[in-house]
Chain A
Amino acid sequence: MRLVTFLQEKLFRWQSDGTAPLRLGQRRIFILPSRGGLLYAMTLAVMLVGAINYNLALGHLLVFALAGIGVAGMVHAFRNLHGLLVTPGRSAPVFAGDLAHFELSLANDRASPRFALELAAPGSEPVIAAVDGKKDAKINIPLATTRRGWLALPRVRLSTRYPLGLFTAWAYLQPAMRCLVYPRPISHPLPPAAPSPTGGDRRGDGGRDDFAGFRPRQPADSPRHVAWRASARQADGGSLLVKQFAGGAQVDLVLDWQQTDPGVDDESRLGILADWVLAAEAAGVRYALQLPGQALAPASGEAHCRRCLEALALFDA
C-alpha cells in the first residue's frame, strides 16, 4: 500500500504550490479505457471477426466507423479536461462530525460546455458538475470530519467519462486548502458566573450593568433585556428569558479548563468548553476562555466566539 502511495506521489507529481489557479495542461491529464470502453473494444473485435468471416464490406466499414468514433471520443474526453482553470476557494470552519465543504472554482474559457466533471477526494462522495461555455462553476467537495484541528484537502481526483464513457480522463488536483474543525460541542450546563479578576480594571460601559444570569421574563421587564438567543435555545420553547444584572460589580463568565470535569478525557473537556462558548455567545454575555497555557480576555461577539473556538480547535493538550 505504501509503495502504491509512493508511486502515485512520484508519478502524479504536483508541481504547483497549490494556491495559484491551475490550468490543466496535457501533462497533467491521464487517460485510460473504462470498463465500458473495454466492453466496446471487445464487441468491435468480435464484430470485425464476423465481418471478415462473412466478408461483409459494410461490416468492415461499420466496425471502422465505430472504432473511429471511439478514438475521437478519447480525444474529446481529454479535451473535456484540457484547459480547465481550477482555482481554490474558501472553506468555512465546521464542528467535528459535520461535513467540511471545500470550494473549488472551475472556469471554462472555451465556448463549448464541459459536462460530467467528477470531483472526488478520498473518503468523500464524488461530486458531478458541468461548466457551461465561458462560465465558471463553484464546486463544493464535501469531506467528513472526525477530529478537531486543521483538515487539509487531500488530493482530489478530477475525472470525466464524457462524451462516450469509453475512456476515463483524469487529473489530480492538490490545492493547498484546509478547513478548521472545531471540537464537537458536548452539551453541559454553564458554570456559575464569577467576578472577573480583570473586571475592575476595565472602563465602564456607560450604564450597562454586568450579567448575573437568566430568569423568566415578567410583563414589566424591558424588551431590551430579553435574552433572545438564550430564549431561542430553550428546548421546551417556554417563556422568554431576561438577563439578570448584578448592580455595580463587573461579572464576566470565565470558561475555564479547570472547571470542566477532570474525570473525562481532554477531547471531551474541549467539547464541553466549546459548548460553553456557544452557550455564552448565544446568551450574549461577555466570557473569557482559559486553557492551560493560554487565556483569552473576556469579550463577546462573533469574532470573539470564533477566536475561542479556534483556540479550542488548535489546543495542544
Chain B
Amino acid sequence: MSTPANAALDRLATPWLFACALASALPHVLHQPVWLSLLAGTLLGWAFWLWQHDRRLPGRWPLVILVGAACAGILIEYRSLFGRDAGVAMLVVFVAMKLLELRSRRDAMVVVTLACFLLLTHFFHSQSIPTALWLLATVVLITATLVRLHGGPACTPRIALRHAAVLGAQALPFMLVLYLLFPRISGPLWGLPADAHSGKTGLSDTMSPGSIARLAQNGDIAFRVRFDGPAPPRQKLYWRGPVLEHFDGTTWRPFEGRRPAETLEIISPPIRYQSTLEAHDQRWLLALDAPTALPDDVRLNGTLTASSRKPVSERRRVSLAASLDYRFNRDEDPAILRRNLALPPGRNPQAVALAAGWRNAGREAILGKALALFASDFTYTLQPPLLGDNGIDQFLFQTRRGFCEHFAAAFVVLMRAADIPARVVGGYQGGEFNPLDDHVVVRQSDAHAWAEVWLPGRGWVRVDPTASVSPSRIEAGIADALPFGEPLPGVVQWRADWIRTLRFRWEALNNAWNQQVLGYDPERQRQLLARLGLPDADWRSLAIALGLACGILAAGLLAWATIHRPRCDPALALWHKALRQLARSQVDYAPWEPPLALAERLGQQRPELADAFQAVVNAYIAARYGKPGSNLETLRDAVARFQR
C-alpha cells in the first residue's frame, strides 16, 4: 500500500503530457508555417518514440542546438523573436522541446503551464464556439493530467478524468462570477506589437480592377445588423465605405485632406439599427446611407462616410440611424466638384471621346446613355480578363466582362469625361436576412462599388451601374447574379433550403455567442451592475462584490468538503430506533448494555414488552452478525411490531 516518495515522473504519466501538448498546440497548425508544425510534430513523435521504447532522453547539447535552429527559423520567418505570432511560434517549439526533457514532476508542471499559455494564444485567431469547445476539452484534459501526475499510479485514467470533471464543474461558478464582476478594462494596457491585429479581411481604402472581386470570394461575415423596425428591402441597403475620388488610370484612392462638413437634408424618417462590425482595421463603420445619428466617437468625414476615431481592430457594436431618402450637399464646394472632374491625362482616349460626344445632351440623358451602354452586352463575372494601361477603354470596347468595380470605374470615367462630377463609392450592398434572430448578415462577398454623381439641385446622387448590367445582383444578391461555377464561397453558393436553415441556425447561435458572451465589455458590465442595484459602480465596489461572491462560493465548496456524514450501519440504525422506543416505554438502559442481557433484564422487569423486544434482539443479531444483507427486512418488521 505504501511506496517510497519519489519526485521522478512515473512512466504512465508521460502520455498524459504528450496529449496536453498535442491538444494545446494542434489548432495552431492552421495559422503557423508548415515547417514549424512539422518540427513540432517531429519533436513530439520523437519524444513519444523514446518513451515507447524506454530510451534515454537526449542530453543538453542536442536540445540547445535544436532550440538555436528553431529560433533561427522563427527569426527568418517572422523577422523577430518577439511580437505576437513569433511569440506563439516560440511557445509551440518550447512545449515540444520540453517533452524531450521530461524527467521530474517539475518538468511536467512546466509543460502544463506552457500548455495553458498556448491555449490563450488560440484566441488571437478565433473566439468562435468550436474554439471554445476545443479549449474546454483541453482544460479538462490538462486538469486530468495534473490529477494523474499528483495522484500517482493508483489514480487510473477514469478516476483522473472524473476528478477533473468534478473540479471543472466546481470551477464554473467561480468562472462566471469572475467573468461578470472582474473589473473590465477596455483597450490595450500598452502598445500592441505591430502584428497584433494582422490577418483581418475587409475593404481596403484603394480600389483597382480585381480588388473587390477578390474580396467577394470570401464568405466571412463583415458585419451583422439588427433593425429596430422591419428591415428595408435589400436593394436599398447600400453600406457606405470609403469614397474614392482620385484616379491615376488604374487605382482609385480617397482624397487626403480636410473637407467641409456635409449638409444633409433628410426626406424619409430615420431607421434605427444596431450594427456589430467584425474587426477590419479601418476607420469606417459601413453605415447605411445616409447616416443621421452617430455614436460619440464617430464623425462623418465630409463624404458621408461614418468614421471612427480609432480603427475597428476588434468586434464592435454601434447604434446608428439612417435615412434612406436624402439630399446630400446640394451646394457643393466648387473645388470639390472640380476635383471630381479630373481624369488622368492621355489615358483611355476612346472612352473620353465617347463621353465628350454626349456633352450637349442633358445630364439625365447622359446618365441614361451610359447605363444603356452597360445594359447592352456586358457580362457580370468574378473572373474578368486582365486589363492593361488603358483599362477603361479595354473594358468598354473589347473585353466587356467585369465585376462591380469595373462598372463603377468605367461609369465614373464616362461621367467625368461628359463633364458631370462623379466619384466611386466602396462598401457593401445587400445582406442576408436571418429570420431566426432577425439579423441581416453582410458578408465580404457582398462587397460592392458604385458611383455617385453630382447634379445641380439634387446634390450627390447614387448611381449603381452594376444594377443595369445585372439587376439580380442588387435585388437578390451575388449568388443569383453569377452563374454556378464562379468562385463564390460555399456559404453563399449552397442555397438548398435545408442547408440554408442549418446555416441560419448556426449563424444565429454564433451571433448570440458574439453578442452575449464575447460582447461583454465595460459598458455591459456597468449595465449589469446597475440592474443588480449597484449603479455607477467603480472598481472598488466591484472588487468588494467580487470578493463577496467568491467568498460565498468558496465557503460553499468548503462546506461540501467538510460535511462528513458517516453512513450508519442500517441494522444499527434500526436498533437505535428500538432503543428509543424502549426509552418511551419508561425503561432505563445503558448504551453499552449488550442486546441479549438487555432482553433478559426486560423479561424480568417488564414482561409485557419482553416478547416483542426479544424478537427485535434476535433479528438484530441475525442482521448484524449473520449473513450480510439477508435479515434486514426481518429486523425492520420486528422493530415496527415493537413500536406498536
Contacts and interface: CB of A to CB of B under 8 A. Distances in A.
Contacts of A46: 117
A46 B91 CA distance: 14
A127 B557 CA distance: 29
A78 B554 CA distance: 12
Interface string A61-81: 111111111011101101100
Nearest to B148: A163
A125 interface: yes
B139 A137 contact: no
Given A55-B186, A140-B2, A68 B171 contact: yes
A291 interface: no
Interface string A16-45: 000000000010000000011001100110
B156 to A, nearest CB: 10
Interface in B144-159: 146-147, 149-152, 154-155, 159
Nearest to B178: A64
A36 B557 CA distance: 22
Given A115-B151, A138-B1, A62 B174 contact: no
Contacts, number: 194
Given A75-B561, A138-B1, A62 B135 contact: yes
B196 interface: yes
A11 interface: no
B139 A64 contact: no
A315 B603 CA distance: 60
Contacts of A73: 146, 167
B116 A66 contact: yes
B178 A126 contact: no
Interface string B559-574: 0111010110000000
A130 B154 CA distance: 7
Given A75-B561, A163-B146, A163-B163, A55 B178 contact: no
Given A47-B120, A68-B171, A120-B5, A58 B135 contact: yes
B459 to A, nearest CB: 40
Interface range for B: 35 or more
Chain B, interface SS category: helix
Contact of A62 (B2, B105, B139, B560): B139
Given A116-B150, A165-B105, A65 B1 contact: no
Nearest to B113: A43
A50 B518 CA distance: 16
B557 A71 contact: yes
B1 A115 contact: no
B127 interface: yes
B179 A60 contact: yes
B445 to A, nearest CB: 27
A82 interface: yes
A88 to B, nearest CB: 16
Contact of B4 (A65, A79, A113, A126): A126
A127 B2 contact: yes
Given A58-B123, A113-B159, A47 B167 contact: no
Interface string A123-160: 00111111100000111100000000000000000000
Given A26-B562, A115-B155, A127 B192 contact: no
Nearest to B558: A75
Contacts of B564: 82-83, 110
Interface string B129-140: 001100100010
Contacts of A131: 1
Interface in B103-124: 105-106, 109-110, 113, 116-117, 119-120, 123-124
Interface of B: 1-6, 105-106, 109-110, 113, 116-117, 119-120, 123-124, 127, 131-132, 135, 139, 143, 146-147, 149-152, 154-155, 159, 163, 167-168, 170-175, 178-179, 182, 185-190, 192, 196, 314, 517-520, 550, 554, 557-558, 560-562, 564, 566-567
9 contacts: A40-B116, A50-B120, A53-B192, A64-B175, A65-B139, A65-B168, A113-B159, A116-B151, A125-B5
4 closest cross-chain pairs (CB), A and B: A68-B171, A68-B174, A126-B5, A79-B561
